[in-house]
Amino acid sequence: MADMTIPDLIPNRIDGKEVPAASGDSFDKFNPADGKLLCRVARSREADVNRAVEAALAAQPEWAETTPVRRGEILYSVCNALKARQEEVARIVHLETGKSFKEALGETGGAIALGLFFAGEGQRLYGRTTTSGVPNKYAMTIRQPAGIAGLIIAANTPIANVAWKVFPALICGNAAILKAAEDTPATAWIFGQIAHEAGLPAGLLNIIQGFGDEAGAPLAAHPQVDVISFTGSTEVGREIAQVAGKRLAKVSLELGGKNPLVVCDDADLDNACKWVLLSAFSNAGQRCASAGRILVFDSIYEKFRDMLTAASSKLKVGPGDDDDFGPVINETQLENMLRTVRKAQEQGAVVLIGGERMTDRDHAQGFYMAPTLIENASPSAEISTTELFGPIACLYRVKDFAEALAMANDSPYGLTACIHTKSIHRATQFCQKVRTGVVVVNAGTYGSEPHMPFGGLKQSGNGSREPGTEALDIYSELKDVYINIDPEAL
């Protein structure tokens, strides 16, 4: 039985219309909080992607001719409509992720803030004017749409993930095909409906539901999709880079992390404890920027470990507004985590707290992983080097700043990092030397702002940054314009 706000079958949106998958196939989507069927979802394949690309190709030229200021006005209308229906959107996010309504409401607010930022970019979309080495010649750059944007997203913060890609793609004059995450189909569906009703012309935002290999892969491979922007795992990002790279399409990859949080001996330990809990466990650890590695100075290790374990044992897990975090997104994800924890234990790691699925009466039906802290894991063990995307963090001892920095950098990933210290010397040096795209002093490993560029080094990305004005570089092409005048003709 579907919830009132979510239809029984989540359709695609192609050329402004809601349509089932061409094959008529669908798959089940479950509520992670109670394991019950939430809805069925259009199971799209290449034929659906092709139809969406055709609709986008038909709609894009007129949108490209629309002034960026006017595009921005339409995106403002979309933001206003999102604001008017913020609670409805948040309720859908809550139902399909299991995170609390309160958190979902905040996430929806973040999506609106991001939309407003990019709507405003319609009044800027700056190019550059510069000098020429030749007399009577003028040089400048202008921004032009990339064309058709293929957007593929993860489920962890579904409305934020939609907004991060759709708003910059549209303001730059592209038509978009959004491949929704299979675990959060309804959030993409409601966004498409709201945008359409707010006046976004048909064909500019097409939404394809379905699995990655069936619906995402043909989008990445489609010869008429000019730019692919992907948020998801490093494994899939690598695959997409190969497929899209072969046809020389532009690719932006926002991938995983195994982010370090350093607690120095001079840190405010209460503040550090608060931020470790939030960085490791909020959103059930399902953040690319969550803290998976807590590096603690030797001299305070036992004290901090005990503080953290005591505080973790008080966390409330569930889908309610009073809970600290909810379930993970699906059962497969949960089983993967349990397997990795068991393997780590076999190799000598010690589970300080958690490590298990929660099976008491309130949690048994949902996909709940207990907040988990682990110590004694080898820095080279699988649990130390791979992203788990769940409420699990490992503690490591470090003897001093140099060892903390070295260990922070000893990772295949390079997304975010954080240090807790009162020393400006340690803080500044850490910010300079840590090999990540984001670094934070005295707070958490996560958190980003609409006007700031987010992204990572090494296996966390391919050098691109979104959002901020840097996202405009993904979704537009720069054109050099040279104007030569004839002084005799003046």
Question: Residues in the site for ligand NAD, rule: CB under 6 A?
Answer: 152-156, 179, 181-182, 211-213, 216-217, 220, 231-233, 236, 239-240, 254-257, 288, 387, 389, 454
d(CA 238, CA 127): 31
d(CA 397, CA 303): 12
CB of 164 to ligand NAD, least distance (A): 8
Residue 105 or 215: the one with the smaller Cβ distance to ligand NAD is: 215
CB count within 10 Å of CB 364 equals: 12
- Is 288 catalytic? The answer is yes
Give the H or E element holding residue 474.
helix 470-475
Residue 256 or 450: the one with the smaller Cβ distance to ligand NAD is: 256
d(CA 427, CA 194): 44
d(CA 50, CA 14): 10
With beta carbons less than 8 A apart as the criterion, state whether 439 and 431 touch: yes
Q: What are phi and psi of 109, to 5 degrees?
A: -60, -40
d(CA 85, CA 77): 12
CA 84 vs CA 92, 159, 419: distances in Å: 15, 15, 39
Residue 121 or 214: the one with the smaller Cβ distance to ligand NAD is: 214
CB of 168 to ligand NAD, least distance (A): 14
CB of 178 to ligand NAD, least distance (A): 10
d(CA 204, CA 362): 43
Residue 168 or 257: the one with the smaller Cβ distance to ligand NAD is: 257
CB of 83 to ligand NAD, least distance (A): 24
CB of 341 to ligand NAD, least distance (A): 18
Residue 255 or 398: the one with the smaller Cβ distance to ligand NAD is: 255
Residue nearest to ligand NAD (CB): 212
With beta carbons less than 8 A apart as the criterion, state whether 23 and 142 touch: no
Out of 214, 254, 387, 466, the active site residue is 254
CB of 179 to ligand NAD, least distance (A): 6
Residue 288 or 337: the one with the smaller Cβ distance to ligand NAD is: 288
Out of 79, 172, 273, 288, the active site residue is 288
CA 367 vs CA 143, 338, 339, 411: distances in Å: 46, 12, 15, 29
Q: How much of the chain is in helix, strand and coil states, percent to nearest 5?
A: 40, 25, 35
CB of 269 to ligand NAD, least distance (A): 28
Q: What are phi and psi of 29, to 5 degrees?
A: -120, 130
Greatest alpha-carbon pair distance for the chain in Å reads 88
Instruction: Give the list of residues 6+ apart from residue 358 with CB closer than 8 angstroms, or none.
Output: 317, 364, 368, 369, 370
- Positions marked catalytic: 254, 288
